[in-house]
Chain A
């Protein structure tokens, strides 16, 4: 009896060892492609590295994050990323951008997915057509929208003027009040199909017979939506939201093309890129990268907790 217990243990131990062996190459690759750059960036954040001289980077501790700059005689000020207004403004811009775009995309995506889930003629064609905005490379669609939103030649202003919605052309991208709105609109246009697709997959998992049962019981369609569709599609929606949120938190390309160097729409990633490559501030940019990573990690963990997602 004892022997056989020992034997099963050995088998499970052996299984675990085999699993570890099979996982090892993948883990090694992960460490190389994700872990190594991450650690390097972390390290550069604590040095005085410049892009021209990465090898000569020297350790300077937390100075990039926070340092007391003394003017002498007790006078001075705190400097560094943690007290940099521009950085926190970029964080704020990113959070606003993420919250609004992901919320709107989820709502619209749900509507589109429900429509596409109903049987109608040419459904396959419509499903493919809806995906077009997602399939266009971001740089191309951003450039396209830049022309459509142009204040003098743009079609959006032309339509608005002809319909009498606006009295004079609006400088959508250039004006401080509308730049962020314009960027968010383009992102929503582009990413809603992605949300719709993921939610549609969730909707298709719901068994037909539940709806049939609801129908036979004479349940109001709205109640069916709230009591059946939404709870059953919720896991898919939650996962879709986290995918989109991760994407939105590191948004770069749309903003870089549509409103480059504009303080109104400068996000964390744009801030990092400017410091890393445009200015001679590689170390400062690396420190910002590290904070960007932490901010995203923090938000993701918080979200998983709040949504009680079971990703494991």
Chain B
């Protein structure tokens, strides 16, 4: 009798507890741009989160161009949109939208978790002492090369841009003669968007031509080395790269590469996992290396994505929980194994399971460690326009509209005008 009553009480208690948790469960919305399998992998993460917490999370999917995403996010945030709780943000956006994001360091668990990530990334997401986002994964590009073709033509993995151009030309000529009429030497991203700024910055830095705008805010882009770097890149168009690269973003370049129609490609780690998938024509036939040098060493632009909670979210507590879950070691490990997304936690680079599934992760870590940030910290809220002016100048040079020297002089004048008395 007593036992049965006790049981009833327990059952009632349990029901109440479930009810309570159901009542506090929230419908969250996360917005994310995507390349490759990003969305599927995120969904798998979210399914686990939903099971653990009872909250529901919907993904709002955005186009792959980070430039397009940013315009939309800025609009939503400025309008105080409360529909989106969590934003996946590019590493360069923090200073521009910090005012609309929650300070995660106010949350004990988040402040503790922040210490487990690479300090340089946490630093980039801290604006005036406010931690606006936690790192989701980090990114640094590399040179993808066809092992089989380098062997066939007895070539080494190129160490400099000149080597790359020569090797690409040899392979392209040979393959075209052998009947592959569409074969390309080198594909990269040269559409007029943020990705071209990344490519352009790599050419500049690898030639020792500065970082467009230096850390102290001086505009350094108009120099002879930068002009030489851009002229060199322009010489590839129509010789080792199709004219179409002027409209390529990451996925277009991967399309040419993964169908076996390119000898070299510059791309981010996500392309590594996809190029090794079963339906890939280059599965097992390629390798990755640091991008070539222009005389001043190899340079890779630091990329990467972070998760931020909107200040206008109706469920800030649950949203922070979600961010903590998605940036946890467990979630990052799963994405590293499935999608080759580089973890932002140093500890995971020693993880045996990741090393087994993605043996190249050590190489990516080296590339990440030597990566170059874009001048987003120095140019603050003006960064987007600085970047647009830069990619316009690079795109014009690549398209043969004016010499690099003239385009850079024009760029410098425009940046000076934008800067005025100082970056804002």
Chain-B contact segment, one of A99-107, A169-177, A186-194, A224-232: A169-177
Whether the pair B399, A261 counts as a contact (CB closer than 8 A) is no
Minimal Cβ-Cβ distance residue in B for A262:
B192
Most B CB within 10 A of own CB, among A152, A170, A259, A273: A152
Given known contacts A278-B67, A280-B384, A174 and B247 CB-to-CB distance under 8 angstroms: yes
Q: Give the docked Cα–Cα distance between A79 and B419 (Å).
A: 13
Whether the pair A273, B71 counts as a contact (CB closer than 8 A) is yes
Looking at chain B's contact residues, the main secondary structure is helix
Total residues of chain A contacting the partner, CB 8 A: 28
* Interface flags, B222-264, vs A, CB<8A=1, else 0: 0000000000000000000011111110001001100001000
Chain-A contact segment, one of B110-118, B129-137, B266-274, B390-398: B390-398
- Segment 268-289 of A: residues with Cβ below 8 Å from B: 273-274, 277-281
The answer to whether B78 has its CB under 8 Å from any CB of chain A is: yes
Whether the pair B242, A171 counts as a contact (CB closer than 8 A) is yes
Whether the pair A261, B391 counts as a contact (CB closer than 8 A) is yes
Given known contacts A51-B75, A51-B78, A260-B192, A281 and B244 CB-to-CB distance under 8 angstroms: no
Minimal Cβ-Cβ distance residue in A for B243:
A171
Contact residue among B78, B96, B99, B193 (Cβ-Cβ distance under 8 Å from A261): B193
CB neighbours (8 Å) of B109 from chain A are none
The answer to whether B417 has its CB under 8 Å from any CB of chain A is: yes
* Interface flags, B390-411, vs A, CB<8A=1, else 0: 0110011001110000000000
Whether the pair A174, B244 counts as a contact (CB closer than 8 A) is yes
In the complex, which range does the number of interface residues on chain B fall in? 35 or more
**B189 → chain A, closest Cβ, in Å?**
11
Whether the pair B247, A173 counts as a contact (CB closer than 8 A) is yes
Q: Give the docked Cα–Cα distance between A279 and B173 (Å).
A: 43
Whether the pair B242, A151 counts as a contact (CB closer than 8 A) is yes
Whether the pair A277, B385 counts as a contact (CB closer than 8 A) is no
CB neighbours (8 Å) of B261 from chain A are 152
The answer to whether B50 has its CB under 8 Å from any CB of chain A is: no
The answer to whether B30 has its CB under 8 Å from any CB of chain A is: no
CB neighbours (8 Å) of A259 from chain B are 247
CB neighbours (8 Å) of B191 from chain A are 174, 260-261
Whether the pair B381, A280 counts as a contact (CB closer than 8 A) is yes
Q: Give the docked Cα–Cα distance between A260 and B194 (Å).
A: 12
Whether the pair A263, B247 counts as a contact (CB closer than 8 A) is no
Whether the pair B256, A152 counts as a contact (CB closer than 8 A) is yes
The answer to whether B182 has its CB under 8 Å from any CB of chain A is: yes
Given known contacts A79-B417, A174-B244, A174-B247, A278 and B70 CB-to-CB distance under 8 angstroms: yes
Q: List 9 A-B contacts (CB under 8 A).
A: A152-B182, A169-B242, A175-B243, A260-B193, A261-B191, A263-B192, A277-B72, A277-B75, A278-B70
Given contacts A152-B242, A277-B72, A280-B424, 9 further A-B contacts (CB under 8 A): A51-B78, A52-B99, A151-B247, A169-B182, A171-B243, A174-B191, A175-B244, A261-B193, A278-B71
Which A residues are within 8 Å of any B CB, using their own CB? 51-52, 54, 69, 79, 150-153, 169-171, 173-176, 259-263, 273-274, 277-281
- In the A-B complex, list the 7 residue pairs whose CB atoms are closest, starting with the nearest: A174-B247, A151-B244, A171-B244, A174-B246, A261-B192, A171-B243, A279-B385
